[in-house]
Amino acid sequence: MPSSSTSVPERYSRQLLFPGIGESGQERLSAAHVALVGCGATGAAAAGLLARAGIGTLTLIDRDFVEESNLQRQVLFDEADARDALPKAEAARRKIALFNSDVTVHAHVADLTPGNIHQLLAGAAIILDATDNFETRYLVNDYAVEQGKPWIYSAAVAAYAVSMNIIPGETACLACIFPEPPSGTVETCDTAGILNTAVNFAASIAVTEALKFLTSSQARAGSQLPAGPGLPLTMRRTLLSCDLWNNERSEVSAATPDPACEVCAARNFRHLRGEGRPHITLCGRNSVQIHEHHRPVDLAALEARLRPHGQVRFNQLLLRFTRGEHTLTVFADGRAIVQGTTDAALARSLYARFIGS
């Protein structure tokens, strides 16, 4: 570390040597506030990287708890966390405190919804997506565009990783590229598996792009960062996808907003208003019903996907999937009843993991 610096710890000395950051960039990082939506595989990796890079404040939001099957890829957790079924956001907070106690971590064991998103994401300069479902991603996209706040879309499943920077007013938003969420069932880590290398690849790209942004003068929107040299041209303006197993890569331009986009052009924030969000109700004793009526499900294909993961029975009208203490009854129109819980957040999580959302 340069001898003239007394404000930056020795731990960042190698990062200070990197010209893209330097001493002034490190000072901006230490003043930065980043929000991570999701603390599973991608989220845990991203949280660890951000904390080790010296981000001053992290907001971690996750509705799930640690399980043994997470340990193959969720790098902040250990066997004790799984044994205690510790909420992922809190487990991540505790682990970060062990290797960088200077980072302020706000851990929220919560399901991000239209009702709490403004409160939970307030103050963050940038939002990183580490969720497991498109429902939450479109909600984050609405919020970010409304607030003029940048966010980074990331996903990983099987050997596939994808990432896109979204800077409202400058780049395409998620709805520009994907006007509607995918229909029917989609592959998830619980049905298609996942390589931990794909997770770390997606997280590394997202965090690198976030560091570029946070060391620039564009790092505004909820932060009090000092002015930097300007938005770096090295920030990617594409939707990047890579299949690490088959050595395939593609990029789709996201350099400019779509003038016909419902969200960033028309500023119609229907996800933020809660429109189209599956309604959740308690359904009898120890059951939750997810009222998803506009998502046709191929029950035979779903049965084949779920067979390795639990007990499955189905007919032309419905499918019943039992795993542990929970049973999901899925109807052909996408509606589902989750038995074994009255927790709406847990019901959403199970639906996202096994049906896709």
Q: Which residues are catalytic?
A: 189
State the CB neighbour count (10 A cutoff) for residue 354: 24
Are residues 43 and 62 in contact, defined by beta-carbon separation less than 8 angstroms? yes
What distance in Å separates the CA atoms of residue 329 and residue 344, rounded to the nearest whole number? 15
What DSSP assignment string belongs to 67-79?
Answer: -GGGGGT-TT--H
Query: 3-class SS at 18?
Result: coil
Residues 6+ apart with CB under 8 A from 298: 184, 185
Are residues 90 and 51 in contact, defined by beta-carbon separation less than 8 angstroms? no
What distance in Å separates the CA atoms of residue 160 and residue 149, rounded to the nearest whole number? 27
Residue 243, both tokens: 């299949």
What are the start-end ranges of the H helices in the chain? 13-16, 22-30, 41-53, 79-83, 88-99, 117-121, 134-147, 174-177, 189-192, 196-214, 299-306, 344-354
Residue 99, both tokens: 């290797």
Query: 3-class SS at 185?
Result: coil
C-alpha distances in angstroms, 255 versus 236, 237, 250? 8, 5, 15
Rg value, the chain, Cα: 21
